[in-house]
Amino acid sequence: MKPFDVVVVGGGGAGLYAAMEAMKTNPSLNIAVLSKVYPNRSHTSAAQGGANAALANKAKDDTVEMHIFDTIKGSDYLADQDAVDVLCSEAPKIIRELDNIGTPWSRMDDNTIAQRPFGGAGRPRCCYCSDKTGHTILQTLYEQCLKKGVIFFNEYFALNLSVNGSRSRGLIAMNMKTGKVEAFPARTVIFATGGHSKMYWNRSSNAAGNTGDGQAIAYRAGIPLKDMEFVQFHPTGLRKSGLLITEGARGEGGYLVNRDGERFMARYAKEKMELGPRDLVSRSIETEILEGRGFDSPAGKYIHLDLTHLGADLIKSRLPQIREMSMQFEGVDPIEEPIPVRPTAHYSMGGIDTDNFGRTVMDGVYAAGECACVSVHGANRLGGNSLLDILVFGRIAGRMAAEESGKFEPGIISDAELKEQLAATRSNMQSSGHFERYGALREELGQTLAINVGIFRESSLLQQGIRDIAELKERFKKVRVFDSSDVFNTNLMQVLELKNMLDLAETVAAGAYAREESRGSHTRTDFPVRDDAKWHKHSVATLVNGTLSLGEKPVTMGRYELQERTY
């Protein structure tokens, strides 16, 4: 195969923006997007709420500077301030560019792009398209990539980077339609594979495939992962499925209510109430439940998200999707009665360590979006900043890779290496010595993470979590792929995804155990306060000779000094 100039792994918002921008930067380049699902299926489509940008369409006094401050404060001061500068300054440009290429933004009375309030933000700056924002952005980007003639390798499962010393030769992936392992020799590779919160399984809002494939591949190739202990629990997952009810529901005026009929957020965030930042609201809900003020049901404990006072018209026009979901998955019509919700693992702040240009430590390897950690979200991401992150840094990584691709020689991936990879990939298909069921391991991983590495963490729990994960990794060696077919072997894909989740779960638990403080989404009941003297720094997890090694990296400060974070 002719070597590629840019291979983008992942076809969500970050990957597609990267591909589009790379094509724009240099149309003569050979650019491909490789995705394990059709790009329009990617999890970007599930982002309901919107993307933040200080357009000042709604609040005329909104500024980029305020967006920057909100983001840094929201991150509990762990975000790198120069990176946040980039994120927020580029935001208005990105939102307008998306408008210019056809994204159907909802509109204000003066025909400008509509904005609404979102958690942790001082002004209503979240741009949206009813409650299908991510879906419409993803469609727009996919359409534009088709227009520009981006080459797509759909339903290819990425397996590994081919590495020569400090250089990548390109990517090795499995064609799901044939089961063949194929080489993608490339000058540059951009990982845009999305988050890894599906490791919490049914306590997660994520799609089945949000298994951190890119992060795991990078980690195995020796590229460091950053701030992996920070996992965001979204306050309002549906009780039964963990599926998400957008923050937009609270942005539009929804109440959180306990069994005593009390709007309990008054106890935790007097001013912002339901629109406090996600970590705070999640902890508040969990506390209500732990202290016996939640509702109980065979499907688990929960509290109420009450929209009934908003009226049928508003719910139907602004929140149609969440109404549909409540009815389909809980049998509750939010016009008539409150929605049962509880926090659900939603977003991974941590990921592949990159600089502000999406570059990793390995020449020619980039990362963008949820799989990357620049870091702009620090210890807690604000609602409406994740779509923004994938767009801004997807675009930057695409441009950088296109510009820098000339610097790197394309690698050659040998047949021997492909053969070896194929054998490794299919090793679990042999019957002898393989008997563990994939479903059981995955379930147990989700369980131990939710209990021991969940919202409230503590030394002995975390130690238990670490032990459990190590044991699961041992058992995984004996896992059996029961489907023996080459064509579209989804059983094999699930097992490969589980391997990635197990590798990453180890870094999440280890990071959480090491960080002896509470910051943002990471709450240690045994170390309840933020400890800036010891822990105002990023954690870095690197695989050295097959063993996890934890290091650290300073936080880039700027105009904003450390402050106590209250809402």
Partner 1 sequence: MTVSTDQHKEEKKDVTFRVFRFNPQVDSKPYFDDYKIPVERGITVLRSLNYIKEHIDASVSFRAFCQAGICGSCSMRINGLSQLACTTQVWDVLAKCREEGIIKIEPLRNLPLIKDLIVDMDPLVDKMRHYSNWVDSTMAESEMGKKEFLVSEEEFLRYDKATDCILCASCVSECSILRANKDYVSPAVLLKSYRMNVDSRDGIHDLRLAELVKDHGVWDCTHCYRCQESCVKSIPIMDAIHGIREDAIECRGAKDTSGAKHAEAFMEDIEKKGKLVEATLPIRTNGVVWTLQNLLPMAVKMIMKRRTPPPPPLVKSSKGIKVFRAMFREMSEHVKQDQKSHKK
Q: Output the smallest distance, CB 310 to partner 1, in A.
A: 20
Written in H, E and C, the secondary structure of 141-197 is: HHHHHHHHCCEEEECEEEEEEEEECCEEEEEEEEECCCCCEEEEEEEEEEECCCCCH
Q: Is 243 in the site for partner 1 (CB under 8 A)?
A: yes
For residue 393, the surrounding DSSP H or E stretch is helix 385-404
Q: Output the smallest distance, CB 130 to partner 1, in A.
A: 7
Burial of 557 per CB tally in 10 Å (0-12, 13-18, 19+): middle
Q: Which residues contact 521 (CB under 8 A, 6 or more apart)?
A: 230, 231, 232, 233, 278, 279, 282, 349, 379, 380
Q: Which is nearer to partner 1, 77 or 295 (CB)?
A: 295
Q: Which is nearer to partner 1, 102 or 406 (CB)?
A: 102
List the one residue out of 33, 219, 44 whose CA is nearest residue 137.
Answer: 44
- Asked if 132 and 246 count as a contact pair (C-beta separation under 8 A), the reply is no
Q: Output the smallest distance, CB 44 to partner 1, in A.
A: 10
Region binding partner 1 by CB under 8 A among candidate stretches 346-354, 372-380, 487-495, 517-525:
487-495
Q: Which residues contact 418 (CB under 8 A, 6 or more apart)?
A: 172, 181, 182, 183
Q: Is 522 in the site for partner 1 (CB under 8 A)?
A: no
List 489, 500, 518, 539, residue binding partner 1 (CB under 8 A) = 489
List the one residue out of 72, 61, 30 whose CA is nearest residue 555.
Answer: 72
Q: Output the smallest distance, CB 480 to partner 1, in A.
A: 9
Q: Output the smallest distance, CB 436 to partner 1, in A.
A: 13
Q: Which of residues 149-208 bind partner 1 (CB under 8 A)?
A: 152, 154, 177, 207-208
What is the CB neighbour count within 10 angstroms for residue 467? 13
Region binding partner 1 by CB under 8 A among candidate stretches 133-141, 160-168, 363-371, 547-555:
133-141
**Spatial separation of the C-alpha atoms in residues 499 and 496, rounded to whole Å:** 5
x/- track of binding to partner 1 for residues 32-51 (CB under 8 A): -----xx-xxxx-xx-----
x/- track of binding to partner 1 for residues 295-324 (CB under 8 A): --xxx---------------------x--x
Q: Is 7 in the site for partner 1 (CB under 8 A)?
A: no
Q: Output the smallest distance, CB 122 to partner 1, in A.
A: 22
x/- track of binding to partner 1 for residues 255-284 (CB under 8 A): ------------------------------
The question of whether 442 is a catalytic residue gets the answer no
Q: Is 24 in the site for partner 1 (CB under 8 A)?
A: yes
Q: Which is nearer to partner 1, 328 or 566 (CB)?
A: 328
Q: Is 209 in the site for partner 1 (CB under 8 A)?
A: yes
Query: Could you tell me the CA-to-CA distances from 534 to 74, 76, 564 in Å, in that order?
Result: 20, 15, 16
Q: Which is nearer to partner 1, 121 or 243 (CB)?
A: 243
Considering 125, 169, 239, 278, which one is annotated as catalytic?
A: 278
Q: Which is nearer to partner 1, 38 or 534 (CB)?
A: 38
Concatenating the DSSP letter of every residue in 67-102 gives HHHHHHHHTTT-S-HHHHHHHHHHHHHHHHHHHHTT
For residue 373, the surrounding DSSP H or E stretch is strand 372-373
Q: Output the smallest distance, CB 221 to partner 1, in A.
A: 26
List 485, 525, 549, 566, residue binding partner 1 (CB under 8 A) = 485
List 143, 333, 417, 420, residue binding partner 1 (CB under 8 A) = 143
Q: How many residues of this chain bind partner 1 (CB under 8 A)?
A: 71
Q: Output the smallest distance, CB 193 to partner 1, in A.
A: 14
Q: Which residues contact 241 (CB under 8 A, 6 or more apart)?
A: 202, 329
3 state SS of 521: coil
State which amino acid sits at residue 276. Answer: G
Taking the CA of residue 456 as centre, how many other CA atoms within 13 Å lie in the half-sphere pointing to its CB?
10
List 217, 479, 481, 541, residue binding partner 1 (CB under 8 A) = 481
Q: Which of residues 59-118 bind partner 1 (CB under 8 A)?
A: 93-94, 96-97, 99-102, 104-107, 109-113
**Spatial separation of the C-alpha atoms in residues 308 and 339, rounded to whole Å:** 9
Burial of 300 per CB tally in 10 Å (0-12, 13-18, 19+): middle
Burial of 416 per CB tally in 10 Å (0-12, 13-18, 19+): exposed
Q: Is 25 in the site for partner 1 (CB under 8 A)?
A: no
Q: Is 130 in the site for partner 1 (CB under 8 A)?
A: yes
Q: Which is nearer to partner 1, 479 or 543 (CB)?
A: 479
List 124, 488, 531, 553, residue binding partner 1 (CB under 8 A) = 488
- Asked if 51 and 384 count as a contact pair (C-beta separation under 8 A), the reply is yes
Q: Which of residues 373-432 bind partner 1 (CB under 8 A)?
A: none
| Residues with active-site annotation | 278
